[in-house]
Chains A and B, each alone.
Chain A
Amino acid sequence: MTLLMFFVWLAVVIAVSIALAWGFRAVATAVTQGEMQRALRNAPLTAAFGMLVIFVYLVVAILAPMIAPFPEREVVGSQFMPWSAEHWLGTDALGRDMFSRMIYGTRNTVGIAFATTALAFLIGSVFGLLAATVGGWLDQGLSRLVDVMMAIPSLIFALLLLTIFGTSVITLIMVIAVIDSTRVFRLSRAVAEGVVVMDYIEAARLRGEGLVYLITREILPNVTAPLVAEFGLRFCFVFLSISALSFLGLGIQPPTADWGSMVRENATLITFGDITPLLPAGAIALLTVAVNFVVDWQLYRASGLKE
């Protein structure tokens, strides 16, 4: 019976998502023009859904103080109040409004995850492409360095570095970004290695083009697709890293609301069948799915498959 209800709800959720995605695509096509409009019109519904979710998250993140009914850190009620008209999602262990913290969490979490992933990709791909293009000692040196860093389990490495350097948001972003960038380095180097042996690169070299030109104009455009695909997953791994770190007692400074820590704070409840921790976890999952839907669409466009 419960299983049946579950499937009914699942069907309803899917139907509503499809309708929303369709609506969003219609609106988006109406307000854009040219190349973008054409791309959007042909976007699959999943991609439209992904874009809708990302759009909503962005709006919530930017307008957080205006949307949230209560401040981020203020204690406004007693501990663990149930869902009510005043506190839509109840209150947390300290009596802070859960709904407001979810909203502020959007801003903090998405901000931190985006900054971290972007930094990781910047570091990783710059060095990865350099290594592949220049080759020789630079390539050997960087590759061995990355090998060493990857041979140390990332969680333990992060734990060590954060304990040494402290746990401000900036250090957190830097540490996770540097550790993550090793993965990006390997990927971009591997992909670029396949590209640098191509004839057109050889031709550009013979033309006497500089290193910067080679990388930005000739190699980068041909390695974007796998990098973008990786971006989708890396993005979500940042949440996981923060969450795992807060499990081990590090993580984001309180009273800042972030989803990873909120899952951790409320996780015990799930073992009693209380769904509160599913909210921040679900928010992360939804964003991950959305980002990857968009990424899949971009990949598909880039792959040149026509069907």
Chain B
Amino acid sequence: MAHVWRMIAQRLALGLLTLFVVSIIIFGATELLPGDFAQAVLGQAATPEAVANIRRELGLDQPVYMRYFDWLFGVLQGDFGTSLAQRGRPVTDMILSRLGNTFFLAIYAAAMAVPLALTLGVLVALWRNSLFDRIANSTALSAISFPEFFVAYILIFVLAQSGYFPSMARMPAGADLGEKLYRAFLPALTLTLVVTAHMMRMTRAAIINLLASPYIEMARLKGMRQSRVIVHHALPNAIAPIANVVAINLAYLITGVVVVEVVFVYPGLGQLMVDSVSRRDIPVVQAIALIFAAAYVLLNLTADVISTLSNPRLLYRK
């Protein structure tokens, strides 16, 4: 077990380094984008004088590295700065409610998608090459080859226009959990359809991959039932790849859902990020990028810990 703790500590340290580099890349990339906040916010109405004045007011006329270090020192002291657009409003305050929404939707979708994908994955591995396998596979593949917004539109047409679910997933203040679940059902379902196929196929592949191993042959030769072989012998050894693909998809549910947010008018972090990028509101972009990167790092770490714990050989490695 000490090995696992050491790994976690080491990975967390590396994770911090990753966050640092991500912040430099995002800052640099936003800096390289043509135009800055002053031009973006004035848009078509920009005049050189107004642009210069806004830059001066916000300190955008400082050299790049100065602004980055200012930001970095702030972050090290726990201060993520204030948004350029909502002057005086701390970034953390802007992000907090949206962060909650993003996690809510991700957890909601994951709660539907992960059990569904794993169950289907085991079933299609069990009945591989049967008609069920083919149909489940084709359906899943068709589902992921439809763009998210398109899946969303189809669901709106079928489930929202008939009045079963609302087409807008806006979250009124003070809504209780039941209402939240009801209002966010369509976006969660869309995401479920989008991520299930990937996880299901990987589960199937991971299990089938093991079926040719000698110890499985052995179990079968002993006359063990197919379903028992898969659930008791193949599945435990397939946990590592499955945990990995689940982690990737969970990270996607947190960081990659801007399109679904736009279609369902769901106030999550993705849209805030894209908006802030397009307006060059760097403190907000940076903060969200750090959240996304941290989510990715932590989920990956969790997947690796689970893989290690699931494999005694890794666990007791010297």
Contact = CB atoms under 8 A, between A and B. Distances in A.
B245 to A, nearest CB: 11
Contact of B21 (A148, A159, A284, A299): A148
A164 B32 contact: yes
B188 interface: no
A227 to B, nearest CB: 12
B193 interface: no
Interface string A222-245: 000010010001001001100110
A292 B293 CA distance: 31
Q: What secondary structure prevails in chain A residues at the interface with B?
A: helix
A296 interface: yes
Interface in A156-176: 156, 159-161, 163-164
Contacts, number: 140
Interface stretch (B53-61, B62-70, B84-92, B204-212): B204-212
A147 B13 CA distance: 13
A258 B48 CA distance: 39
A65 interface: no
B296 A289 contact: no
Interface of B: 14, 17-19, 21-22, 25-26, 29-30, 32-34, 129, 134, 137-138, 141-142, 144-150, 153-154, 156-157, 161, 198, 201, 205, 208-209, 211-212, 255-256, 258-259, 262, 270, 273-274, 277, 289, 292-293, 296-297
B18 A281 contact: no
Interface in A217-273: 226, 229, 233, 236, 239-240, 243-244, 247-248, 260, 263-264, 267-268, 270-273
A23 B138 CA distance: 21
Nearest to A143: B14
A156 B277 contact: yes
B150 A160 contact: no
Contacts of A296: 137
Contacts of B30: 160
Interface of A: 44, 46, 144, 147-148, 150-156, 159-161, 163-164, 226, 229, 233, 236, 239-240, 243-244, 247-248, 260, 263-264, 267-268, 270-273, 277, 281, 284-285, 287-289, 292, 296, 299-300, 303-305
A236 B147 CA distance: 10
Contacts of A156: 255, 258, 273-274, 277
A285 B255 contact: no
B33 A285 contact: no
Q: Choose among A46, A156, A240, A305 the residue with the greatest number of B CB atoms under 10 Å from its CB.
A: A156
Contacts of A304: 212
26 contacts: A150-B296, A151-B292, A151-B297, A160-B29, A164-B29, A164-B32, A164-B33, A164-B34, A236-B145, A240-B145, A248-B258, A248-B274, A264-B147, A267-B147, A267-B153, A268-B153, A270-B157, A271-B156, A281-B145, A285-B141, A285-B142, A288-B141, A289-B145, A300-B129, A303-B208, A303-B209
Contacts of A161: 29
A240 B258 contact: no
Q: Choose among A151, A152, A248 the residue with the greatest number of B CB atoms under 10 Å from its CB.
A: A151
Contacts of B149: 243-244, 247, 264, 267
Nearest to B146: A281
